[in-house]
Protein backbone atom coordinates (compact mmCIF):
# COMPACT_ATOMS: atom_id res chain seq x y z
CA UNK A 1 0.00 0.00 0.00
CA UNK A 2 1.54 3.28 -1.13
CA UNK A 3 1.48 5.82 1.70
CA UNK A 4 2.28 9.53 1.83
CA UNK A 5 3.37 11.33 4.99
CA UNK A 6 2.56 14.99 5.56
CA UNK A 7 4.36 16.62 8.50
CA UNK A 8 3.05 19.68 10.32
CA UNK A 9 5.50 22.59 10.23
CA UNK A 10 5.66 22.77 14.05
CA UNK A 11 6.09 19.03 14.44
CA UNK A 12 2.85 18.57 16.41
CA UNK A 13 1.13 16.17 14.02
CA UNK A 14 1.93 13.84 11.15
CA UNK A 15 -0.65 12.58 8.68
CA UNK A 16 -0.46 9.27 6.84
CA UNK A 17 -2.76 8.55 3.92
CA UNK A 18 -3.10 5.78 1.36
CA UNK A 19 -2.41 7.32 -2.02
CA UNK A 20 -4.51 4.85 -4.00
CA UNK A 21 -7.41 4.62 -1.53
CA UNK A 22 -9.05 8.05 -1.08
CA UNK A 23 -10.51 8.45 2.39
CA UNK A 24 -8.05 6.21 4.21
CA UNK A 25 -6.13 8.80 6.23
CA UNK A 26 -5.15 9.06 9.92
CA UNK A 27 -2.89 11.21 12.03
CA UNK A 28 -0.51 10.83 14.95
CA UNK A 29 2.14 12.70 16.86
CA UNK A 30 4.83 10.77 14.98
CA UNK A 31 5.10 9.05 11.62
CA UNK A 32 5.01 5.66 13.34
CA UNK A 33 1.81 6.41 15.28
CA UNK A 34 0.13 7.86 12.19
CA UNK A 35 0.98 4.72 10.21
CA UNK A 36 -0.20 2.49 13.06
CA UNK A 37 -3.55 4.26 13.15
CA UNK A 38 -3.82 4.02 9.38
CA UNK A 39 -3.31 0.26 9.63
CA UNK A 40 -5.96 0.02 12.37
CA UNK A 41 -8.53 1.55 10.03
CA UNK A 42 -7.84 -0.75 7.11
CA UNK A 43 -10.59 -3.18 8.13
CA UNK A 44 -13.12 -0.35 8.39
CA UNK A 45 -12.13 1.08 5.02
CA UNK A 46 -12.53 -2.38 3.46
CA UNK A 47 -16.29 -1.73 3.38
CA UNK A 48 -15.67 1.25 1.10
CA UNK A 49 -13.43 -0.78 -1.18
CA UNK A 50 -16.08 -3.50 -1.36
CA UNK A 51 -18.79 -0.99 -2.26
CA UNK A 52 -16.54 0.19 -5.09
CA UNK A 53 -16.08 -3.39 -6.32
CA UNK A 54 -12.43 -3.37 -5.22
CA UNK A 55 -12.69 -5.42 -2.05
CA UNK A 56 -10.40 -8.25 -3.13
CA UNK A 57 -7.81 -5.81 -4.48
CA UNK A 58 -7.82 -3.91 -1.21
CA UNK A 59 -7.56 -7.05 0.91
CA UNK A 60 -4.57 -8.17 -1.14
CA UNK A 61 -2.71 -4.90 -0.61
CA UNK A 62 0.59 -5.50 1.20
CA UNK A 63 1.78 -3.59 4.25
CA UNK A 64 2.17 0.17 4.01
CA UNK A 65 5.19 1.51 2.17
CA UNK A 66 6.01 5.19 2.59
CA UNK A 67 6.93 6.58 -0.82
CA UNK A 68 6.45 10.28 -0.14
CA UNK A 69 7.27 12.52 2.85
CA UNK A 70 6.67 16.26 2.55
CA UNK A 71 5.99 19.35 4.70
CA UNK A 72 2.44 20.35 5.46
CA UNK A 73 0.80 23.60 6.54
CA UNK A 74 -0.68 25.02 9.72
CA UNK A 75 -3.84 22.91 9.38
CA UNK A 76 -1.70 19.77 9.42
CA UNK A 77 -0.60 20.58 12.96
CA UNK A 78 -3.85 22.15 14.17
CA UNK A 79 -6.46 19.78 12.74
CA UNK A 80 -4.32 16.71 12.12
CA UNK A 81 -5.42 16.53 8.49
CA UNK A 82 -3.63 16.62 5.17
CA UNK A 83 -4.15 20.09 3.79
CA UNK A 84 -1.11 20.52 1.57
CA UNK A 85 -0.81 19.30 -1.99
CA UNK A 86 1.95 16.74 -2.37
CA UNK A 87 4.34 16.37 -5.30
CA UNK A 88 2.26 13.38 -6.44
CA UNK A 89 -0.95 15.45 -6.26
CA UNK A 90 0.61 18.04 -8.53
CA UNK A 91 1.90 15.44 -10.98
CA UNK A 92 -1.65 14.55 -12.05
CA UNK A 93 -3.23 11.16 -12.78
CA UNK A 94 -4.16 9.19 -15.88
CA UNK A 95 -7.75 8.47 -16.90
CA UNK A 96 -7.87 4.96 -15.43
CA UNK A 97 -6.59 6.19 -12.06
CA UNK A 98 -8.98 9.13 -12.11
CA UNK A 99 -12.02 6.90 -12.72
CA UNK A 100 -10.88 4.46 -10.03
CA UNK A 101 -10.61 7.26 -7.47
CA UNK A 102 -14.01 8.65 -8.48
CA UNK A 103 -15.45 5.17 -7.90
CA UNK A 104 -13.94 5.13 -4.41
CA UNK A 105 -15.16 8.66 -3.66
CA UNK A 106 -18.69 7.60 -4.58
CA UNK A 107 -18.30 4.56 -2.31
CA UNK A 108 -17.22 6.87 0.54
CA UNK A 109 -20.42 8.88 0.14
CA UNK A 110 -22.45 5.67 0.06
CA UNK A 111 -20.79 4.42 3.24
CA UNK A 112 -21.46 7.76 4.93
CA UNK A 113 -25.15 7.59 3.98
CA UNK A 114 -25.40 3.97 5.13
CA UNK A 115 -23.89 4.84 8.51
CA UNK A 116 -26.07 7.96 8.87
CA UNK A 117 -29.14 5.79 8.27
CA UNK A 118 -28.37 3.24 10.98
CA UNK A 119 -26.77 5.24 13.81
CA UNK A 120 -28.78 6.89 16.58
CA UNK A 121 -29.98 10.47 15.98
CA UNK A 122 -28.34 11.49 19.25
CA UNK A 123 -24.67 10.59 19.47
CA UNK A 124 -22.39 10.02 22.42
CA UNK A 125 -20.89 13.27 23.64
CA UNK A 126 -17.16 13.78 23.59
CA UNK A 127 -14.38 16.11 22.52
CA UNK A 128 -14.37 15.05 18.89
CA UNK A 129 -16.72 17.15 16.78
CA UNK A 130 -17.83 19.37 19.65
CA UNK A 131 -20.72 17.13 20.67
CA UNK A 132 -22.61 17.21 17.37
CA UNK A 133 -25.49 14.86 16.78
CA UNK A 134 -26.03 12.88 13.58
CA UNK A 135 -27.99 15.48 11.64
CA UNK A 136 -25.51 18.20 12.62
CA UNK A 137 -22.71 16.08 11.16
CA UNK A 138 -24.67 15.53 7.94
CA UNK A 139 -25.30 19.27 7.62
CA UNK A 140 -21.66 20.03 8.38
CA UNK A 141 -20.49 17.62 5.68
CA UNK A 142 -22.71 19.17 3.02
CA UNK A 143 -21.97 22.73 4.13
CA UNK A 144 -18.24 22.05 3.82
CA UNK A 145 -18.63 20.49 0.39
CA UNK A 146 -20.68 23.47 -0.74
CA UNK A 147 -17.81 25.69 0.36
CA UNK A 148 -15.39 23.68 -1.77
CA UNK A 149 -17.45 22.89 -4.86
CA UNK A 150 -17.46 26.45 -6.24
CA UNK A 151 -13.91 25.50 -7.22
CA UNK A 152 -15.53 23.26 -9.83
CA UNK A 153 -18.42 25.53 -10.73
CA UNK A 154 -21.17 24.22 -8.42
CA UNK A 155 -23.24 26.66 -6.39
CA UNK A 156 -26.40 25.33 -4.74
CA UNK A 157 -28.75 26.34 -1.93
CA UNK A 158 -27.51 24.51 1.16
CA UNK A 159 -31.00 23.85 2.52
CA UNK A 160 -31.98 21.99 -0.64
CA UNK A 161 -29.12 19.51 -0.33
CA UNK A 162 -28.62 18.04 3.15
CA UNK A 163 -31.92 16.17 3.54
CA UNK A 164 -33.33 13.77 2.50
CA UNK A 165 -30.60 11.37 1.46
CA UNK A 166 -31.81 11.46 -2.16
CA UNK A 167 -30.92 15.17 -2.31
CA UNK A 168 -27.38 14.46 -1.13
CA UNK A 169 -27.03 11.72 -3.72
CA UNK A 170 -28.21 14.02 -6.51
CA UNK A 171 -25.77 16.71 -5.35
CA UNK A 172 -22.91 14.22 -5.32
CA UNK A 173 -23.80 13.05 -8.82
CA UNK A 174 -23.41 16.65 -9.96
CA UNK A 175 -20.08 16.92 -8.15
CA UNK A 176 -18.81 13.85 -10.00
CA UNK A 177 -20.05 15.20 -13.33
CA UNK A 178 -18.18 18.45 -12.72
CA UNK A 179 -15.04 16.62 -11.64
CA UNK A 180 -15.12 14.67 -14.91
CA UNK A 181 -15.63 17.88 -16.87
CA UNK A 182 -12.67 19.58 -15.21
CA UNK A 183 -10.51 16.50 -15.65
CA UNK A 184 -11.21 16.19 -19.37
CA UNK A 185 -10.87 19.91 -20.08
CA UNK A 186 -7.97 20.55 -17.68
CA UNK A 187 -9.85 23.64 -16.48
CA UNK A 188 -8.29 25.07 -13.30
CA UNK A 189 -10.31 24.46 -10.13
CA UNK A 190 -9.87 27.69 -8.22
CA UNK A 191 -11.85 29.86 -5.83
CA UNK A 192 -11.65 33.58 -6.50
CA UNK A 193 -8.55 34.70 -4.69
CA UNK A 194 -7.87 31.18 -3.47
CA UNK A 195 -5.38 28.48 -4.39
CA UNK A 196 -5.85 26.04 -7.22
CA UNK A 197 -6.56 22.47 -6.11
CA UNK A 198 -5.24 19.67 -8.26
CA UNK A 199 -7.65 16.88 -9.15
CA UNK A 200 -5.91 14.21 -7.01
CA UNK A 201 -5.94 16.54 -3.99
CA UNK A 202 -9.57 17.56 -4.52
CA UNK A 203 -10.72 13.94 -4.63
CA UNK A 204 -8.73 12.74 -1.64
CA UNK A 205 -9.66 15.81 0.43
CA UNK A 206 -13.36 15.22 -0.22
CA UNK A 207 -13.04 11.50 0.53
CA UNK A 208 -11.10 12.04 3.76
CA UNK A 209 -13.69 14.47 5.11
CA UNK A 210 -16.52 12.06 4.28
CA UNK A 211 -14.91 9.08 5.98
CA UNK A 212 -13.67 10.96 9.03
CA UNK A 213 -17.23 12.02 9.83
CA UNK A 214 -18.69 8.64 8.87
CA UNK A 215 -16.40 6.97 11.39
CA UNK A 216 -17.17 9.70 13.94
CA UNK A 217 -20.87 8.83 13.73
CA UNK A 218 -20.12 5.14 13.94
CA UNK A 219 -17.88 5.57 16.98
CA UNK A 220 -20.45 7.69 18.84
CA UNK A 221 -23.53 5.62 17.98
CA UNK A 222 -25.73 5.03 21.04
CA UNK A 223 -27.18 1.88 19.51
CA UNK A 224 -30.60 3.19 18.54
CA UNK A 225 -32.02 2.60 15.09
CA UNK A 226 -33.39 5.38 12.94
CA UNK A 227 -33.83 5.76 9.19
CA UNK A 228 -34.94 9.38 8.83
CA UNK A 229 -31.75 10.49 7.07
Which tops the pLDDT comparison, 146 or 192? 146
| C-alpha to C-alpha distance for 23 and 21, rounded to whole angstroms | 6
Q: Enter the pTM of the model.
A: 0.93
Q: Where are the domains of the chain?
A: 2-84, 92-219
* Confidence label for 28 from pLDDT (cuts 50, 70 and 90): very high
> pLDDT-based confidence at 197, cuts 50/70/90?
confident
Mean pLDDT of 30-35: 97
The dihedral through the CA atoms of 155, 160, 163, 166 has a sign that is negative
193-201: average pLDDT = 78
User: Which residues lie closer than 8 Å to 88 by C-beta, 6 or more apart?
Assistant: 4, 19, 68, 200
Spatial neighbors of 186 by CB under 8 A, at least 6 apart, are none
Residue 191 has pLDDT above 60, yes or no: no
pLDDT at 208: 98
Q: Averaged over 150-173, what is the pLDDT? A: 86
pLDDT at 88 over 80: yes
Question: Taking residues 150-178, what's their average pLDDT?
Answer: 87
CATH number of 92-219: 1.20.120.450
Assigned CATH topology for domain 2-84 = Double Stranded RNA Binding Domain (3.30.160)
Q: 196 pLDDT band (50/70/90 cuts)?
A: confident
State the pLDDT at residue 130. Answer: 63
Higher pLDDT, 97 or 151: 97
pLDDT computed for residue 229 by the predictor: 41
Question: Does 15 score more than 60 pLDDT?
Answer: yes
Given a cut of 60, whether residue 224 has pLDDT beyond it is no
DSSP string computed for 94-153? -HHHHHHHHHHHHHHHHHHHHHHHHS-SSB---TGGGG--HHHHHHHHHHHHHHHGGGGT
Amino acid sequence: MRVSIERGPKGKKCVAYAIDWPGLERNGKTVDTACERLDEYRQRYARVATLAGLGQTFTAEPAAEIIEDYPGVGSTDFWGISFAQSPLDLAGIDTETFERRILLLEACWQEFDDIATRVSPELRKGPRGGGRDRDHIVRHLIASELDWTPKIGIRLDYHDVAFPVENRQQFHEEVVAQLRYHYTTATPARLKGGPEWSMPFFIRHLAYHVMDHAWEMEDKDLGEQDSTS
